[in-house]
A = this chain, B = another copy of it.
Amino acid sequence: MSSRPVSIKDVADRAGVAVGTVSNVLNHPARVSTATRERVQAAIDGLGFVRNDAARQLRAGQSRTIGLVVLDVGNPFFSSLARAAEDCAAENGSTVVLGDSGQDAEREARYIDVFEQQRVQGMLISPVGDVGPRVEALRQRGMPVVLVDRVDPQRRCSSVSVDDVAGGYIAVRHLLEAGRRRIAFVGTRADYRQVADRLAGARQAIAEHDGAVLEVLEADAMTVLAGRDVGETIARRRHEELPDGIFCANDLLAIGVMQAVLLIRGLRIPEDLALIGYDDIDFSASTVVPLTSVRKPTELMGRTAVELLLEEIEGPTARRRQVIFDPELVERRSSQARVHAPG
């Protein structure tokens, strides 16, 4: 039933000093004599004083907070990126607060507004749609912004993203190195830019390798069920028409394909068919045959995003940089090379 929050004034009164002294204890302890410092500290503890951040940052003109707006906190990519960003920010004395737009432009806008009103130091945004104008407005008002998982077409602000063409290339080259030649790509109709990029990378790897062929199979969605459907059509083929390596545009599809070919046709993975997914979701290590996959360097991306932001906060004139990471291959059993020559 405390009447109202304890202020620095109350602390000063209780300790018998001026408010400036209390402030110095908090912010410049060295300027205060030991005796005074201890007396003030005792008053702080006794009263349960908690700094008022609003007043603090009103005076300072800036906060120690970074706003992070993600598309979906439920997505492991974003949650793990957020974790890394938090760690990196903490090392630099800042705190990350998270806003989940849930792929909804309106919610995204609301979080951006709230963060701007809170005068965060800067924002990391993985934008829903075209945030060009919005980000431009932020920048004009001097708010540092770094885009996550998306490059800024106009190079107005820094960004961290992943090269999905490289990812597709790595995946298929891996299949080729494991001795596979008849490769199938499973993905949705390439309206997604990401899927299109992965396919482009796959084509590139095929083109560099004599005697390798690529066939493209279309799935209805990026889900296990859709993958199972595609897997069933594959499983029903005659032996000589079977691919010997399949690259799926994400892990869910790959898991569906695996379920179908194992259970319907009893094909052996990787002996008869090598399989590789994309995203390296948690579950991929636990499938019946552990699934090889391609992974974004999530932690690195989170840390880099914060670093780029801090760079810009400290030197607003710093050059904007588009950092593009290559994904990495996570090799598991589903794509192991044949030990014997193919039967």
User: A225: CB under 8 A from chain B?
Assistant: yes
Q: How far is the CB of A140 from chain B (nearest CB, A)?
A: 7
The CA-CA distance from A22 to B298 in the complex, in Å, is: 45
Given A48-B140, A50-B141, A141-B48, the answer on whether A100 and B119 have CB atoms closer than 8 Å is: no
- Say yes or no: A98-B95 contact (C-beta < 8 A), given A5-B142, A76-B74: no
A90–B54 alpha-carbon span in the complex (Å): 22
CB atoms of A286 and B83 under 8 A apart: no
How far is A73 from B5 in the complex, measured between Cα atoms in Å?
A: 32
Q: Is the CB of B58 within 8 A of A55?
A: yes
Q: Is A34 an interface residue (CB 8 A)?
A: no
Q: Is A267 on the interface with B (CB-CB < 8 A)?
A: no
Per-position 1/0 for A1-44, Cβ under 8 A of B: 01011100000000000000000000000000000000000000
- Copy tally for this chain in the complex stands at 2
B100 touches A82 (CB 8 A): yes
What separation, in Å, do the CA atoms of A2 and B51 have in the docked complex?
Answer: 30
Q: Looking at the complex, which one of B53, B76, B99 makes contact with A118 (CB distance below 8 Å)?
A: B53
The docked-state distance in angstroms from the alpha carbon of A51 to that of B58 is: 12
Cβ–Cβ < 8 Å partners of A56 in chain B: 117
**Which A220-269 residues have C-beta < 8 A from chain B?**
223-225, 252, 255-256, 259, 262-263
Q: Does A52 contact B (CB under 8 A)?
A: yes
| Residues in B whose Cβ lies below 8 Å from that of A6 | 141
Give A102 Cβ to nearest chain B Cβ, in Å: 6
- Which A47-77 residues sit within 8 Å CB-CB of chain B? 48, 50-58, 61, 63, 65, 72-74, 76
Binding site for B on A (CB under 8 A): 2, 4-6, 48, 50-58, 61, 63, 65, 72-74, 76, 79-80, 82-83, 86, 90, 95, 97-100, 102, 107, 110-111, 114, 116-119, 137, 140-142, 223-225, 252, 255-256, 259, 262-263, 283, 286, 288
The 7 closest A-B pairs by CB, nearest first: A224-B286, A74-B79, A98-B98, A53-B117, A54-B58, A97-B97, A54-B54
